[in-house]
Structure 1
Amino acid sequence: MFKASIPADNFGPRKGRKRRVDKNAPPWPADRPDFLRFVVYKENIDTSTAAKDIVRMAHLNPKRGISYAGMKDKRGVTSQFCSAYRATKEQLLAVNRSLAGPKHGGNTSTRGASVIKVGNFSYSSDEVRLGQLKGNRFDVVLRNVDIGLADDIVGDAKTKLVHERLEAAGKALKSRGFVNYFGMQRFGKFRDTHEVGICILKGDHEGAVDVIMREKGNDSNEYQNTAVARKKWAKRFADVDLSDEEAAKDAEMAVAKDVLRSLGRFMVCEKSIVSSLSRNPRDYKRAFGAVSKQMRSMFLHAYQSYIWNKVASMRVETGGYSAQVGDVVLTEDKSASGLRGKSVKILTADDVQNYSITDVVLPLVGGKVVFPEGLSGDLFVELMKEDGINREMFAKVGAVDKELSLGGDYRKLICKPSDVTFEIKQYTDPVQPLLETDLMKSIGEKVAPVVREKASESPEAILYGMVVGFSLPPSSYATIAMRELTKRPTSSEYQSMLELTGKPERNVM
């Protein structure tokens, strides 16, 4: 079961539609707990969008929405626990009837189709929310695996070498683990959410809005309407004397109203900002405040993650895979996130031999964390200085906006997956399911059996795949684990260039 560690958000019905309210509905039974807990299964849609669709299709209270323990992105076939306040099973079952699309799920040939299913209902007195998870279970399918063998190695010889290489890689992931980097999804589609965080720490709300709304470049793969809207926004003051504040306000209001119509359904952050500026032009602090608390916090977390990743790279490069004098380790850890229940110490020459690299943590910068001593601690200060940031700014931003308070946290430098399993498969259909999804299991659909080479088949027709299963603690990224396993990028840009047959990287530039 997939779970994650990003807080929930609430979503209402689509604009222009009134939520259907049953005024004759009976009062909520006094002996029934307030929260309906259920599992959401989804494909080809991210958690926040799925939550919005569920609220709409099940006619739930838009002010409460549904809550969940973590965010799962669009590329994952995922199942996770959610909860809804005073909702009934009958309401939620409307989701299974409403959404068209493939019934079985798991088949990669159904490109573009989204799947949302709900089930496993029970009532609970507790809401599903951030911090309630122990970790995440992943089962990852790697298709058309190529280990770089010469073309003349085929048949049993090829199969033997592929199995040996993949088994060695799987065992290395299990025994050594990986540097616990934050995944690129932490920094948004355009890899710039940390830049917004820098602006907010400086109190520069206009700069934050500019980063969010600016043109993203020709390689951004945005829809043409969106790219045109961003260009209009960038030129909103082209013929305006900015010393004339009223003229500037009028220009921005007009462009905001025009641009708002061109922003896509999923551009929640941009739409919130532009909508605010269409009513209150040039008030960038108010506009940024119109963004949800979770999203505003995400920008600051992105900057914390950006600094953490850089220091982690340097720490491993200079200190290797053993604990060093000056490293920070946890001596008490009773909390999944935040500083409450955590205590740390800095290693000295007298006790460093009692700890291993898996004990070492690096701080997520905040006003209350302890920095390591030596090179790692110095690098934290130097990197922030380059961005015009200091530790006092983290405390200051929390004083100005309590919802953005950042005391900091600690994160393990090395993550070792648990319950690691791997299975190597041979197959011929490049899009056939190689792993049973939860939906397939629920309806009894089986994965096609492993193929064996036959005399009548060309050796080139046999494809090799690997199914890797593992569990990670909260906030560790499967994409980073896969990068360590495959020694290849896991970005959607790179993955989209790979081929499902033949040489997989033949189109990679």
Structure 2
Amino acid sequence: MSELESILGMEFFATKSKGIGGCLRKRWEDFVVEEITPQKEIIQALGPGISTNGLKDAQITKGEGDYTVFTLERHAMYNTFEALDRIARSLGVGIKRFSYAGVKDKRAITTQRVSAWRVDPERLKNLNIKGLYLRDFNRSEEPVKLGDLWGNHFSITVREINLAESEIEEQVKQTCREIEDSGGVPNFFGYQRFGVQRPLSHLVGIKLLKSEFKDAAMLFLAKAYPLEGDDAQAARNYLRETEDFAGAFEKFPKRLNYERVMLKHLSKYSNDVLGAFRRLPRGLLVMFIHAVQSYLFNKTLSLRYKQGFPLDSAVPGDIVSPVENVSPNDYILVTDETVSEINEEIRSGKLGVSIPLIGYDSNLPENKPGELVEKILKEEELTPSMFRLQSLPEISSRGMFRLIMLNISDLKIHDIDADEYSTDSMKLTISFSLPKGSYATVVLREFMKTDPIKY
């Protein structure tokens, strides 16, 4: 695996196949993410040919309630936060009026359900923002809430594969067989959780948990990475060397909106680091803490594999959860007396082994599985109680569980053909559905086995 994957705790593959290599996201329309509702309906994307003007005649479904629920289709221009910020600014309302079920990729075509509190659907319908397309408006008494989805359907094209068609076909078939035999792939949190250009969300989160707020701010603002633009690197290096917040504000590119929001505050109140963080959307702040939980999960899962613990069955001390609707309170601690019965339930697909996403109210595994969690926490100098942040209580996390294996639905290979955008290369088109909180790149890494920086 790559250096980035090792840094983020993704330290093994489930399959032994060679891997086809290739690149993702060479064109943004090669990566399509369609949200699947709790009723398992796919919100289909209209695709590159869509136009804002073409949606003006869309009907608004009548209903009652303070919330307007609508479909947001995005075409590579913005991430979820940026898109909603752009919509809110265009309407002259606060971004806190908007809520969503899940965060989607940026460099992709994506669909998702969004709700807006006390925003007239006609105003939303008449927006004209490049790369954002709004439709399917209706009023509701309830907002769209985080987690209010079954999952996502992915249609992805892998390009620049330097193998013959027959070799690609054989490698892909072998990988599919191995995934089926092992019951899925490791349910790692993908690199998007942490950032590819700047994989530091978990590092900022760890600093916040340790109440090292100045260090957290300087990491987020001043840590430069080579994949960023030269202007961004220069601005971050200037801030790191000078701690001149006002001067840095003038140097930071306007596209780095969140950094500029913090710098503007720190330019006036240089010692109020907490106030600067509170200028960020709560969803972004929460993601720093979620990134820490994700990092600890990845590290624990990799340690479990390296120490020879099974991934498809439980041992005494493990925690198991229902495969459907995993919740903080719905878990079973495996004992010597129950392990045989529980493993039968795992084989039937009803239960799965879980690892806690550490929070202040976490129930930890016991015996040997518990020692794995404790080892990782000790290495990072963290404790569950730290996830109750006294200074930022709004981003405290209770904790929950996550299945260690990811089941893939509707896996289909659609096309192996010449890559029309790359001489002497091939492309592979693949589609599948994943439950919420899971990452398509975690599936694709099993097929590609290449450096994710190339994605």
Fold agreement, TM-score > 0.5: yes
Q: Which of the numbers 343, 349, 362 marks the counterpart of 2:355?
A: 362
Partners of 1:140 and 1:174 in 2: CA distance: 20
Give the C-alpha shift of residue 285 in structure 1: 3.0
CA distance in 2, matches of 1:289, 1:31: 35
CA RMSD of superposed structures (Å): 2.9
Output the CA distance in 2 between the equivalents of 1:175 and 1:116.
41
Contact 2:326/2:402, CA 8 A, preserved across alignment: no
Task: Check whether the contact 1:36–1:122 (CA below 8 A) recurs between aligned residues.
Answer: yes
Q: Which amino acid aligns with 1:345?
A: L
Give the equivalent residue in structure 1 for 2:170: 164
Question: Which structure: larger Rg?
Answer: 1
1:479 paired with 2:441, answer yes
Aligned residue number for residue 87 of structure 2: 54
* SS in structure 2 at match of 1:261: helix
Query: Could you tell me how far 1:331 is from its partner in structure 2?
Result: 5.2
For 1:140 and 1:31, locate their aligned partners in 2 and report how far apart those are by CA, in whole Å: 36
DSSP-derived class of the 2:147 partner: coil
User: Could you tell me which residue of structure 2 aligns to residue 10 of structure 1?
Assistant: none
- Unmatched runs of 5 consecutive residues or more in structure 1: 6-29, 100-114, 148-157, 237-251, 432-459, 496-509
- Deviation string, structure 1 residues 369-427 (Cα, Å, up to 9, x no partner): 222234432232222223322233224x2x44331222211000010111222222324
Do the aligned residues in 2 keep the contact of 1:4 with 1:72 (CA within 8 Å)?
no
Deviation at 1:353, TM superposition (A): 5.6
The more displaced of 384-393 and 360-369 is 384-393
How far is the alpha carbon of 1:4 from its aligned partner? 8.7
Deviations 1:163-207 (A, max 9, x none): 333233334334531100111121134212212222222211112
Question: Is the 1:4–1:475 Cα contact (8 Å) retained in structure 2?
Answer: no
1:342 alignment partner, one of 314, 330, 333: 330
What TM-score, normalized by structure 1, do the two folds share? 0.69
Whose RCO is larger (CA < 8 A, sep 6+)?
A: 2
Choose the corresponding residue for 2:159, options 143, 148, 157: 143
Distance 1:336 1:61, change over 3 A: farther
Alignment CA distance shift 1:64-1:308 (3 Å): closer
Q: Which amino acid aligns with 2:415?
A: I
Quick one: structure 1 residues 71 and 332, their matched pair in 2 at CA, closer, same or farther if it must change by over 3 Å?
closer
Mapped pair 1:298 → 2:287: yes
Gap regions ≥5 residues in structure 2:
1-32, 38-61
Contact 1:42 1:116 (8 Å CA) reproduced: yes
Query: Which residue in 2 is equivalent to 1:77?
Result: 109
Match of 2:265 in 1: 276
Question: Tell me, what secondary structure is at the counterpart of 2:315?
Answer: coil
Q: Contact 1:142–1:465 at 8 Å: present in 2 too? A: yes
The share of aligned pairs that are identical, in percent, is: 25
Residue 191 (structure 2) aligns with = 184
Deviation at 1:139, TM superposition (A): 1.3
Q: Is the 8 A contact 1:41 1:77 kept in 2?
A: yes
Partner of 2:55: none
Residue 235 of structure 2 aligns to a residue whose secondary structure is helix
Give the secondary structure class of the aligned counterpart of 2:361: coil
Shift of 1:472: 1.0
Q: 1:327 to 1:76 in 2, by over 3 A?
A: farther
**Number of residue equivalences:** 391
Deviations 1:333-386 (A, max 9, x none): 88555x2x4232134265246314871000111222222234432232222223
Which residue in the other structure is 1:130 paired with? 146
Task: Give the equivalent residue in structure 1 for 2:400.
Answer: 409
Partner Cα distance (2:82, 2:280) in 1: 16
> In 2, Cα distance between the equivalents of 1:284 and 1:68?
28
CA 1:38–1:165: 2 relative to 1, 3 Å: same
Indicate which of 208, 211, 216 corresponds to 2:224: 216
Q: C-alpha distance in 2, partners of 1:227/1:145?
A: 32
CA distance in 2, matches of 1:35, 1:423: 39
Partners of 1:334 and 1:471 in 2: how far apart?
14
Following the alignment from structure 1 to structure 2, what is the Cα–Cα distance between the partners of residues 402 and 278? 25
What is the CA-CA distance between 1:77 and the residue it aligns to? Answer: 1.4
Whether 1:494 and 2:418 are equivalent positions in the alignment is: no
Letter in 1 for 2:293: Q
Distance in 1 separating the partners of 2:84 and 2:148: 18
TM-score normalised by L of structure 2: 0.77
AA aligned to 1:265 is K
Partner residue of 2:6? none
